[in-house]
A and B are shown apart, each in its own frame.
Chain A
Amino acid sequence: MYPAAAPQQVNLVPIVRDDDVVRVRQAVRTAALAAKLSLVDQTKLVTAASELARNTLIYGGGGRAEIEQADNGRKRGVRVVFADEGPGIADLELAMTDGYTSGNGMGLGLSGARRLVDEFDIDTAAGRGTRITVTKWAR
């Protein structure tokens, strides 16, 4: 089809309470289905989203997820942004290390989520909040 001129829809899910993580998972699953991601890729993206949403809640003190369809001209996919106005991450390299945790998780949140997606971008600094953008493309 000719590229449709439809406006890019962003689905905004607030992450304030525990069960918002579940809502993020469901919204990401819906978007992944719409982008025709394979079952395994859907599962990987939803799992990554679950990890990152929990990070936003626990370490960022709450924030939001922005879910949208992505299209790079060749492939379709889903892009999710996790944003918070929390304390930010001071030592990014350390935070990205497998097994490192400052909370009570297994220390796989950031590093694990990065392995599950195709593109992973993190923008953070101490006191400036954190903004993580992940993208998964349909194979």
Chain B
Amino acid sequence: MDRVPVLKIGDILLVSIQVDMDDNTALALQDTLTERIVETSAHGVIIDITALDIVDSFIGRMLSTIASVSRVLDAETVVVGMRPAVAITLVELGLSLTGVRTALNVERAMELLELSRPARASSLSVVGDGLDVFDDDSPVA
């Protein structure tokens, strides 16, 4: 089974998914990441999916779960590099990636995490910069 490496840059964990993951690999990544967030007390997680040519409901669920779990552990997750064709397909599939923040590339994700740092320190809410992915009650189902 392929393992996806998790890199640590400062207090940010960076995961770049390079393989066509089967479901077990995806679940293993979910576990590894959770452990590493606790281990490193990371403040942010960046998942780079530039190399993925599809995201199906299983991977979608993995991304949502990672985002929720990391939030519980006080880390913000940003998914970056989703290809246009993948995004179009996800919308058609009806997958909204609830609670997952997104950015065009790793650099922007870093900026985003940097911006949310003071907010995190002072208040519980970090919503409001408009880059959150739409919720379940978004207009198109």
Contacts and interface: CB of A to CB of B under 8 A. Distances in A.
Interface in B82-117: 83-86, 88-89, 92-95
A46 B92 contact: no
Interface in A14-69: 18-19, 21-22, 25-26, 29, 39-40, 42-44, 46-47, 50-51, 54
B85 A54 contact: no
5 contacts: A26-B20, A47-B93, A51-B93, A115-B93, A116-B89
Interface stretch (A2-10, A87-95, A104-112, A126-134): A104-112
B54 interface: yes
B103 to A, nearest CB: 21
B54 A50 contact: yes
A55 to B, nearest CB: 10
Interface of B: 20-24, 53-58, 60-61, 83-86, 88-89, 92-95, 141
Shortest 7 CB-CB contacts between residues of A and residues of B: A43-B85, A112-B93, A50-B56, A19-B22, A106-B57, A40-B85, A108-B57
Contact of A112 (B23, B24, B88, B95): B95
Among A22, A29, A47, A105, which residue has the most Cβ atoms of chain B within 10 A?
Answer: A47
B20 A22 contact: yes
A42 B83 CA distance: 13
Interface string A98-121: 100000011011011101100000
